[in-house]
Structure 1
Amino acid sequence: MGNTNNDGGVFTVSADLLYRQITEVFARWGMSAAHAATAARIMVETDLAGIDSHGVGMLPHYQRGFAEGRLDPRAEPAILRDTPAAALIDSRHGIGHVAAEAAMSLAIRKAREGSIGIVAVTGSNHYGAAGWYARMAAEQGCVGLSLTNAPTPFLVPVFGTERALGTNPIGFAAPGADPRRPVLLDMATTTVAYGKVAIARRAGKPLPPGWAIAADGGPETNAAVAAEARALAPLGGDRVHGGHKGYGLALMVEILCATLTGARPGDETGHFFLAIDPGFFRDTQAFEADLEALAARMRANRPSDPAQPVLVPGDPEHDAVHRRRRTGIPLLPALVEEIRAVCSESGAPFLLEDG
């Protein structure tokens, strides 16, 4: 059994132990060792990057999908259409990470061979953090874009009262001189991802106004109520603060991931991946040098608070990986108990014991 520590009510576990725990669950579902390894690796690396809303915190959601027959652990993705520049993959209702990694890998290969690659996925499930796949492209020297819709509606359109779209995130990455530290944008088109509402619920903390919407259209700050209602504000909140822009971006993602791929609304998830070889447009080293200069210019901007320097998207994740590899991945006690319940339901051994 691995070792965990209880520090101020928060458990910390090693990446290796968390990986073993996830793969034990997937194995009990009947998932192949290769697919279990892919999904678990992506989930753990997401937690290492500090994106706690999209790593192991999603395991209870995946367990529900498996129990309800929406997630087929034995599915093998299949290429439906393929050209030198584009392809369409059917996930066949497998866990999203497997088809998504295959799709971005194919998009990168196409970009290397012909300057650009576009690969979409239909018939899928939740794939974790959008930025993880964009980072894949950047680590291979490509500019990467990763989008996904969600069949479960969370976003309430500006001027509306009913949930109509998913959180529909956007992941974008561009490689500099160090491909392990790209400019990396990973954002929901709602003010926050639903996973952050779930984190607040587990921690028993209130939500800031502007994250969630109450039944009367006003802000909902009770995390437990918001987690149950699942009604989130678009990025920006209301019309005055630019909520129409977040709504518009969510609709764009929906079109590219669902309308374009044929993923059935309310039933399936679709993904969209784009990889661009910057070497087609200019000398690669010159591009990387200019990107590094741009990032340095942003970081050198005089901060409003000397204690908080200006960051470039991807900086917090980069720092979190180095810190959590040393100190472990923190898990709230409520999440540990949810994982225990998943293990009980699936028949997997529970490895995250304290002590």
Structure 2
Amino acid sequence: MISWPKTNVFRTILNFNRCLICDSAIAGQARTPALRLSTMAEKNYIVKIEDAKNFVVSSMVAIGTQPSHAQALADVLVLADQRGHYSHGLNRLEKYVNEVKSKSVIVENDPFIEKETVSTALVNGNNAMGCVVGNFAMSVAIKKAKEAGVGWVAANHSNHYGIAGMYSLQAVEQGLMGFSFTNSSPFLVPTRSKERYLGTNPITCAAPSTNPDDPFVLDMATTAVAQGKVEVAKRKDVKLPNGWGTNSSGENCTDPREVLKSGGLYPLGGPEETSGYKGSGLAMMVEILCGILSGSHYGSNVRTWQSNEGYANLGQCFIAVNPEMFAPGFQARLADLMKGYRELKPADGQEAILVAGDPERLAMKKVEEDGGILYHPNFITYLDGLAKECQVEKIARQLHD
């Protein structure tokens, strides 16, 4: 078991979903400090994990998805909600339903290997659902890492694959280090530009420690903030902090409507004076690993987020590394590194120091304590609408006290 510090910040994280479900479910961002707290007094619903998965499967199968593909989607969407990433959970189900209905995703297809060596492979996603491509590509990387020490797989003709951490964690389950990257629809405005050119282009790195319940799990965008946070601000009619987004002239903008309509997101780091060029560089790195290496669409060639016209042809990258091929004692050293990090003295006014993956572990602990995932009634109403559209039973739920 992990010994969590007994501090207010950890208690806040444990209860964050009580405050955030309403805005996160509708606008797409789970951990936004500015979200309203009034939802704490409203009656929320608890949905058991299996019930959530069953709802996704039944919805997708009803519109023609292969049962195994529907299950893969259920696994990644529900895991996102379990880990507190509500923007990438059941909130995205409507997007997948629309893609299948518009036939911009081909549900009959499976990914396949176009070419490979002992340690590398190029996977053709065959325009299957991104989670199906991701599971297949990471399984290939894991197999090669076990045999050769490193497995490196690039995939093209893919689609949105959910939370990137889903795939790096698959490597950790096999005692390996895992990395995954994906390009995405343009929303990042590179340093010194006034036009969108790259996506949020996430990075994930996961590594096992001596405690199987305590791996290092980094899963982050290369933009200053997730697009969903801007959507939340628009819905609440509040201004954005400086350094989140730009207007159509490439200047700092605090109006969420303008950022979404004609501006874009700053790269990680914000404007140039606060090292935003480093975020631009990281986003370009992801684009090279995904779009350029795989031969998929890249940069502004990737279709816009709301469009279902044509095929997305996203590029993705999956890497598995066997630490046993290097210096012995990797897991013990990592556990010691994280222990020392968490035990650092907080700065004045601050409390616990969090290692990447800690907020997600605490979110999952809360789900376990509650007996399911907590959802706001507005979100349940949204799911009921999807059930009607897909002609399936409504998601099973119970009121949460």
CA contact (8 A) 1:39 1:97 kept: yes
Q: Select 2:320's aligned residue among 259, 275, 278.
A: 275
Deviations 1:63-122 (A, max 9, x none): 332333322222211111122101121111121111101111211111111100011111
1:169 paired residue number: 202
Give the AA of the match of 1:76.
D
In the TM superposition, what is the alpha-carbon distance from 1:35 to its structure 2 partner? Answer: 1.2
2:266 paired residue number: 233
CA contact (8 A) 1:48 1:321 kept: yes
In the TM superposition, what is the alpha-carbon distance from 1:136 to its structure 2 partner? Answer: 1.3
- Using the size of structure 2 for normalisation, the TM-score is 0.80
Deviations 1:309-354 (A, max 9, x none): 1111111111111111222323345544443343333333332667
CA distance in 2, matches of 1:195, 1:92: 29
1:303 paired residue number: 346
Quickly say closer, same or farther: Cα 1:141–1:305, change in 2 above 3 A: farther
2:221 paired residue number: 188
- Does 2:395 correspond to 1:351? yes
Give the AA of the match of 1:293.
D
1:255 paired residue number: 288
In the TM superposition, what is the alpha-carbon distance from 1:279 to its structure 2 partner? Answer: 0.4
CA contact (8 A) 2:120 2:141 kept: yes
Structure 1, gaps ≥5 residues long:
1-5
Quickly say closer, same or farther: Cα 1:322–1:353, change in 2 above 3 A: closer
Q: Select 1:178's aligned residue among 211, 226, 232.
A: 211
CA contact (8 A) 2:111 2:124 kept: yes
CA distance in 2, matches of 1:229, 1:60: 25
CA distance in 2, matches of 1:162, 1:179: 44
CA distance in 1, matches of 2:256, 2:382: 17
Structure 2, gaps ≥5 residues long:
1-38, 303-311
Deviations 1:275-334 (A, max 9, x none): 110000122xx1111111111111111011576211111111111111112223233455
1:316 paired residue number: 359
Quickly say closer, same or farther: Cα 1:280–1:141, change in 2 above 3 A: same
Quickly say closer, same or farther: Cα 1:352–1:215, change in 2 above 3 A: farther
Q: State the superposition RMSD in angstroms.
A: 2.4
Give SS of 2:86's match: coil
CA contact (8 A) 2:194 2:251 kept: no
Q: Select 2:158's aligned residue among 113, 121, 124.
A: 124
CA distance in 1, matches of 2:261, 2:46: 27
Give SS of 2:87's match: coil
- Does 2:53 correspond to 1:24? no
1:97 paired residue number: 131
CA distance in 2, matches of 1:336, 1:74: 30
Q: Select 1:72's aligned residue among 96, 106, 131.
A: 106
Query: Aligned pairs, how many?
Result: 348
Q: Which moved more, 1:8-17 or 1:233-242?
A: 8-17
Q: Select 2:333's aligned residue among 290, 308, 329.
A: 290
CA contact (8 A) 2:383 2:395 kept: no
Q: Which moved more, 1:295-304 or 1:215-224?
A: 215-224
CA contact (8 A) 2:62 2:390 kept: yes
In the TM superposition, what is the alpha-carbon distance from 1:245 to its structure 2 partner? Answer: 0.6
In the TM superposition, what is the alpha-carbon distance from 1:205 to its structure 2 partner? Answer: 5.7
Give the AA of the match of 2:332.
A
CA contact (8 A) 1:48 1:325 kept: no
